[in-house]
């Protein structure tokens, strides 16, 4: 997870929609020492233009952010605590993994990269679609949901299957200070008490409801 910005709707690991914007924010990918992001149109097509992370998104363009929500066999979600020296939402709890999609990456590639970087889990998202996408003013939030009890294979870097033992995870210490399992009620209480990033509560509830069943319809009632 790279350092984020102050766009609440984008999530804590999106870029700040503030700052200098030379040449309307368009830059070349080879800018030295800077993280470069692709700019997309409203149809999620790459525009062929890029921006420096942290600069304002030019009018009419959008960027992409990913979030990963990992559920254990008991239905609790893995949450991470952001380091206290983060510029945004320091020392608050957050969903399992999150970060910006870098230039040249697909959403799925960014999800695999961030998952390994932040907590040391290997998972191939190449054949998956996001469980949902939440649009914000200057971008797209792709949410991926992983649940081992539903057959999602989560591996450690040595190729062994992760058995949900938190002590086996390798944290990116400059980004993640702690991890733990939390129930839906605990996450909602943490949002209320401002111990968690201030996501909309209905969004957190939807994520919990979708980890066993994807899509917009309740399969228990069949198809009409």
Contact present, 76 and 142 (Cβ < 8 Å): no
pLDDT score for 141: 97
pLDDT tens track for 42-88:
999 999 999 998 899 999 999 999 999 999 999 999 999 999 998 88
Q: What stretches of the chain show up as alpha helix (H) in DSSP?
A: 107-119, 184-192, 201-210
Contact present, 55 and 21 (Cβ < 8 Å): yes
Rounded to the nearest 5°, which phi and psi values hold at 182? Answer: -145, 140
Per residue of the chain (224 residues), give pLDDT as tens. Answer: 444 333 546 667 654 433 333 344 454 444 567 899 999 999 999 999 999 988 999 999 999 999 999 999 999 999 999 999 988 889 999 999 999 999 999 999 999 999 999 999 999 999 999 999 999 999 999 999 999 778 888 999 999 999 999 999 999 999 999 999 999 999 999 999 999 999 999 999 999 999 888 778 876 666 55
Q: Which domains does the chain have, with CATH numbers?
A: 63-212 (3.90.79.10)
pLDDT score for 34: 87
Residues 6+ apart with CB under 8 A from 140: 40, 44, 62, 63, 64, 65, 133, 134
């Amino acid at each position: 997870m790279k350092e984020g910005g102050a766009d609440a709707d984008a999530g804590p690991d999106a870029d700040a929609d503030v700052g200098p914007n030379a040449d309307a924010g368009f830059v070349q990918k080879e800018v030295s020492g800077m993280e470069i992001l692709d700019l997309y149109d409203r149809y999620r097509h790459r525009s062929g233009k890029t921006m420096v992370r942290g600069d304002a998104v030019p009018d009419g363009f959008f960027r992409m952010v990913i979030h990963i929500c990992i559920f254990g066999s008991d239905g609790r979600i893995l949450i991470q605590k952001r380091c206290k020296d983060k510029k945004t939402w320091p020392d608050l709890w957050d969903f399992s993994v999150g970060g910006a999609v870098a230039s040249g990456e697909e959403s799925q590639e960014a999800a695999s990269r961030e998952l390994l970087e932040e907590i040391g889990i290997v998972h191939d998202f190449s054949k998956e679609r996001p469980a949902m996408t939440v649009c914000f003013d200057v971008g797209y939030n792709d949410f991926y949901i992983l649940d081992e009890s539903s057959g999602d294979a989560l591996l450690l870097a040595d190729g062994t299957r992760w058995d949900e033992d938190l002590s086996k995870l390798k944290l990116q210490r400059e980004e993640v200070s702690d991890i733990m399992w939390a129930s839906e009620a605990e996450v909602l209480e943490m949002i209320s008490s401002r111990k968690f990033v201030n996501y909309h509560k209905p969004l957190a509830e939807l994520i919990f409801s979708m980890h066993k069943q994807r899509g917009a319809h309740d399969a228990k009632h069949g198809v009409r």
